[in-house]
């Protein structure tokens, strides 16, 4: 879904349709993602880039609002596909992005 000012919402496919979204911001041929969804969302995000004819190397930032797996779980996989992108996250979230073990364990414990 496209909005004004070069902003698009991309359904991440998490849980059910239109439940969770990543956003792509494009200006002057450069781009940034806001949140990534899970690893399963990454093909959708890359497909949106392709549909908009934006090269992967034109993405400058992956901005993570917080480190829940449905918002940032796909960050590592997405970053592997975006050679010029820099991840932006609050300093308190950095340790979870470097080692997501505690987040994964917490998610598994909640689903039991």
- The topology (CATH level 3) of 7-110 is Metallo-beta-lactamase; Chain A (3.60.15)
Structure confidence at residue 26 (pLDDT): 97
Quick check: helix, strand or coil at residue 33?
strand
Find all residues with CB under 8 Å of 74, minimum gap 6, and list them: 36, 37, 38, 39, 40, 41, 42, 45
Stated pTM of the model: 0.85
Ranges of residues in the chain whose predicted pLDDT is under 70:
100, 102-104, 106-107, 109-112
Structure confidence at residue 57 (pLDDT): 98
Structure confidence at residue 81 (pLDDT): 97
> 62 forms bridges with which residues in the sheet?
33, 87
Structure confidence at residue 98 (pLDDT): 80
Structure confidence at residue 75 (pLDDT): 92
Chain position carrying tokens 């496209």:
2
């Amino acid at each position: 879904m496209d909005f004004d000012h070069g902003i698009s919402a991309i359904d991440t496919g998490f849980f059910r349709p239109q439940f969770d979204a990543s956003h792509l911001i494009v200006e002057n041929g450069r781009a940034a993602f806001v949140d990534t969804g899970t690893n399963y969302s990454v093909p959708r995000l890359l497909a949106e880039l392709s549909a908009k004819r934006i090269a992967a190397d034109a993405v400058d930032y992956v901005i993570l609002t917080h480190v829940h797996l449905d918002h940032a779980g796909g960050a590592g996989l997405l970053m592997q596909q975006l050679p010029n992108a820099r991840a932006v996250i609050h300093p308190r979230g950095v340790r979870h992005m470097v080692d997501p073990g505690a987040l994964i364990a917490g998610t598994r414990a909640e689903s039991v």
